[in-house]
Structure 1
Amino acid sequence: DLEPGTMDAVRAGPFGQLFRPDNFVFGQSGAGNNWAKGHYTEGAELVDQVLDVVRREAEGCDCLQGFQITHSLGGGTGAGMGTLLISKIREEFPDRMMATFSVMPSPKVSDTVVEPYNATLSVHQLVENSDETFCIDNEALYDICMRTLKLANPSYGDLNHLVSAVMSGVTTCLRFPGQLNSDLRKLAVNMVPFPRLHFFMVGFAPL
């Protein structure tokens, strides 16, 4: 991340011990919801450090299938620096699969004016550099929490719980033995008609 606060929260949380301490990479200034800051200035200064961590983890693999990136498209870091990282990983590992879980912004559930710009700039990058993108709609997450789960004020924890359930579902075939879509590449073969048309709508039932 481009600011230390979120990393501190992860470290202090119940799963903080699961991560290697030197795999946390963060800046100090934040991106201020500015895509260009994440992609060209603040993020560009940090991305080499992040790539070192990615490289180290990749070298520890026996058979690297690909990468899964989770990010939002509405802010500065997830959208700007996230897409920069994807393009850098693409340069370094051109033959590996790149899957992203991308949270799409909505003006109904946010007060950030520049979200549409950040999302538009990011989708352009994803068209070029991602192999499969699972689109997660922020507005739909709120709708599900309010209408189906009857939560008056959904917290980020509630929304993240839905996202994690979806991610668990779509990666089940990668994590357990089976015949269909048993790795990222087979999933792409079955789901992607043309290379640039790789944006998947995720559904989840029952809730």
Structure 2
Amino acid sequence: MKAMILAAGRGERMRPLTDHTPKPLLQAGGKPLIRYHIERLAAAGIRDLVINHAHLGEQIEQALGDGSQFGVRIRYSPEAEALETGGGIFKALPLLGGAPFLVVNGDVWTDIDPGSLRMADGDLAHLVLVDNPPHNPSGDFALTGDRVQPSGSPKLTFSGIGVYDPKLFAGCRPGAFPLAPLLREAMAQGKAGGQHHRGQWLDIGTPERLAELDRSLSQA
């Protein structure tokens, strides 16, 4: 399975840290955030990676190169301006191929094993949900068994990690568009599976959360 790391966000909430450094290259525990994803993917045997970028993207390519230093192969999907999650994945589809692929937000940290993620036959998406953090107390989606629903109780938070079939993007056109409407349509069709990850997960969306992660990793 191939994987895509989403790294095109501007990181407005992380300013001024992201004025001169792209968010995926901000450090915690002594190394860039994106490196944790690459190392975990490589350890799971997922070594064919695609990374999109926009803001200061050349720094990402310079830092990571072709991925050989990590034992992976990295190809890049540059965006003149960020295309949102859906548009960014759609643009990268030619690099991802025709089989289901894993996508992970570059600005989260987690201990989940990406090699354990599987999508059920006939599904268009498999989402990893987590307990609601303080900044998203109402959650995003409900999980009934292994089925993800747009409504219901209790709601969990979408982790930014999922496995997608390219057919999820059928009918889409180039340009910026969000992923959520496509996921909700898959849910309406009964083609969105999921799981509740009860391990570690943190959305690194603010300097305070980055500092929190840095303290945690430095003390480990």
TM over 0.5: no
Structure with more contact order per residue of length (Cα contacts < 8 Å, sep ≥ 6): 2
Q: Which has the higher strand share?
A: 2
TM, length-normalised to structure 2: 0.30
The structure that is helix-richer by fraction is 1
Q: Normalization by structure 1: what TM-score?
A: 0.32
